[in-house]
């Protein structure tokens, strides 16, 4: 018998949390509800979730801080939930490492579809072929830069750089096709999946975060092609 995927629901409104749980249980997921950030952090290791649905407005430790702390040690997929619809709130959640962001009130079918999409992307083996000598390792390398998709690591100038999964996958995808221009829509489709309903600013946020961590190199850089998108440019 295949084990059910587990989803940790973190929301201080128990009525909403129970409703979310009802929809997910109908889709054969196992759920656990907690109502505050501290409990969420405590239950991660105990419950072993495959994904966390995380409300922003929580008593004590808010959702932003929970996301920040989780990302220091884990690549657990996180979908943030919030009644806040401002661009700043969405961008902040993504900058902290969230994989998606859903505004309340939300359609139950959309919520379930996003959960499935994030879980599928998390579990899927990337299709890009290796360009290293070892065929068992999916990695690309340039001077002072190694992007290893097999163990999800980035090494820059001999130092390991912490990157959430989506940043690393985006960097790997661009670096796998040097000097090829990709539009924001193409990158959304490739990295986030065709069901993703977020706007193209998601790509811009992730590119900005990557640049902050590895900057430009004399031999390569992530270049913005105005009006088009981005490319990993080599010289």
Query: Domain for residue 173, yes or no?
Result: yes
Angle between helices 165-176 and 201-214 (to 10 degrees): 90
Mark which of 123, 157, 178 sits at the end of a domain: 123
Mark which of 123, 151, 174 sits at the end of a domain: 123
Rounded to an integer, the average pLDDT of 117-130 is 60
* Same domain flag for 154 and 220: yes
Query: Domain for residue 129, yes or no?
Result: no
Q: Domain range for residue 50?
A: 6-123
Distance CA 61, CA 39 (A): 10
Distances in whole angstroms, Cα of residue 93 to Cα of each of 67, 109, 125: 8, 22, 25
* Same domain flag for 176 and 99: no
8 A C-beta contact, residue 147 and residue 167: no
> Tell me, what's the pLDDT at 23?
95
pLDDT tens digit sequence for 153-197: 899 988 889 888 889 999 999 998 899 999 988 888 888 875 555
Residue 40 sits in a domain whose CATH number is 3.40.50.2300
Task: Dump the DSSP string for 50-113.
Answer: SEEEEESS-SSS-HHHHHHHHHTT----EEEEES---HHHHHHHHHTT-SEEEESS--HHHHHH
pLDDT tens digit sequence for 196-208: 555 678 899 999 9
* Same domain flag for 94 and 155: no
The tally of domains found in the chain comes to: 2
* Same domain flag for 117 and 144: no
Query: Domain for residue 154, yes or no?
Result: yes
* Same domain flag for 14 and 106: yes
Residue 167 sits in a domain whose CATH number is 1.10.10.10
* Same domain flag for 77 and 112: yes
């Amino acid at each position: 018998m295949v084990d059910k995927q587990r989803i940790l629901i973190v929301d201080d409104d128990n009525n909403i949390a129970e409703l979310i749980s009802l929809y997910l249980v109908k889709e054969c997921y196992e759920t656990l509800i907690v109502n505050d950030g501290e409990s969420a952090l405590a239950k991660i290791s105990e419950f072993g979730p495959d994904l966390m649905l995380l409300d922003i407005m929580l008593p004590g430790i808010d959702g932003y801080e929970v996301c920040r702390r989780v990302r220091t040690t884990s690549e657990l997929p996180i979908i943030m939930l919030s009644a806040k619809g401002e661009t700043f709130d969405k961008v902040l959640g993504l900058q902290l490492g969230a994989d998606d962001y859903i505004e309340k009130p939300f359609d139950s079918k959309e919520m379930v579809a996003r959960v499935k999409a994030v879980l599928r992307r998390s579990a899927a083996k990337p299709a890009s072929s290796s360009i290293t000598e070892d065929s068992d390792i999916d990695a690309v390398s340039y001077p002072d830069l190694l992007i290893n998709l097999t163990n999800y690591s980035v090494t820059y100038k001999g130092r390991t750089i912490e990157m959430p999964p989506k940043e690393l996958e985006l960097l790997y995808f661009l670096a796998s096709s040097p000097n090829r221009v990709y539009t924001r829509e193409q990158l959304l489709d490739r990295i986030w999946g065709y069901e993703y309903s977020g706007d193209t600013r998601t790509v811009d946020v992730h590119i900005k975060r990557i640049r902050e961590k590895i900057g430009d190199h004399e031999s390569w850089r992530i270049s913005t092609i105005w009006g088009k998108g981005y490319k990993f440019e080599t010289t």
